Structure 1
Amino acid sequence: MFRICALSFLVLTTTMAPVWAEDHIVNMLNRGDDGIMVFEPGLLVIQPGDTVRFVAADRGHNAETIDGMIPEGARGFEARLNEEVLFSPGIDGVYAIKCKPHYAMGMVMIVAVGDVQTPEEFVGRRVPPRARKRLEAYLDAL
């Protein structure tokens, strides 16, 4: 009887774990609360195991990580235009995301995974001014 109870507990706890993870939606928009060409939300704080779903609510957008602006050892991603993509960060830290066609217009966001501190000198030197301004505002809000 003990073995059956122990096995049942083990099965229930391992199959229930994915229920605790959340699926977060990020819309890629031509116009939103923060102006034109935005991700909403622009700053997303998630827990390890959570998933981010990027949805091209307006056509002509993609989502991809910005080179050099993800945690060391983490894998980046790059979606095609108008493609819905799931992103499951494997390492805690701060991930900068851009829409490639609208990067110069400031279409960027931050995904912070776990209990993170704002990294020093995170925003690279070659970041366009509008993107830099938004990224720095999101980092200040962390």
Structure 2
Amino acid sequence: MKRIILAAVLALMTVTPGFAIAADHRVEMRNKGSDGSAMIFEPRLVRAEVGDTVTFVAIDKGHNSSAIKKGVPDGTAEWKGEINQEITVKIEAPGVYMFQCTPHFGMGMIGAIVAGQPVNLEAVKAIKFPGKAKQVASEIFAEIEADD
């Protein structure tokens, strides 16, 4: 009986318009990335859908995830995680969500979430990025534009 109910639910999910299961994306906060880069989020660019969540996991100590000021779509909340703590962020609107590790921002420890169309890309490109973050931001923006 349980199998029949499960099969019915799964069948209904595939034919019901607009029914989707939200995904949880995992981003690791690391001292050293798989490519040898220092102070990095892996992955640094996440493609998500509205309704998905992104969980930032502190693999190495001394990191957090925080929205970059004015780096999220209009009307959505910025977040600021605690150092060494996991934080989960729900994606509430289409656009680009720029994030940083607060203590390592100038060292280029930044990343982006793109949900649907990057409607606020020009606004986030106007953010003043310090130090190495400027170079990393340029690379992320090029990657976003190449995918669109």
TM-score by length of 1: 0.82
User: Bigger shift: 114-123 or 63-72?
Assistant: 114-123
Shift of 1:47: 0.9
Using the alignment, how far apart are the partners of 1:106 and 1:37 within structure 2? 7
Using the alignment, how far apart are the partners of 1:67 and 1:121 within structure 2? 11
Q: Confirm whether residue 78 of structure 1 aligns to residue 80 of structure 2.
A: yes
Task: Give per-residue Cα distances to partners, 1:36-94, cap 9 Å, x unaligned.
Answer: 00000011110111110000000110001000111111111000001100000211100
Query: Are the structure 2 counterparts of residues 125 and 118 from structure 1 closer, same or farther at C-alpha, using a change threshold of 3 Å?
Result: closer
Using the alignment, how far apart are the partners of 2:95 and 2:36 within structure 1? 24
Q: What do you get for the CA RMSD once the two structures are aligned?
A: 2.1
Q: Confirm whether residue 50 of structure 1 aligns to residue 56 of structure 2.
A: no
TM-score by length of 2: 0.79
Within 5 A, what are the aligned runs for 1:14-93?
A: 17=19, 20-32=21-33, 33=35, 35-93=37-95
Q: How many residues align?
A: 130
Q: Confirm whether residue 137 of structure 1 aligns to residue 134 of structure 2.
A: no
Where structure 1 has 5 or more consecutive residues not aligned to the other structure, the ranges are: 1-7
SS at match of 1:126: coil
8 Å Cα contact 2:94/2:119 also seen in 1? no
Aligned identity (percent) is 34
8 Å Cα contact 1:118/1:139 also seen in 2? no
Using the alignment, how far apart are the partners of 2:122 and 2:27 within structure 1? 26
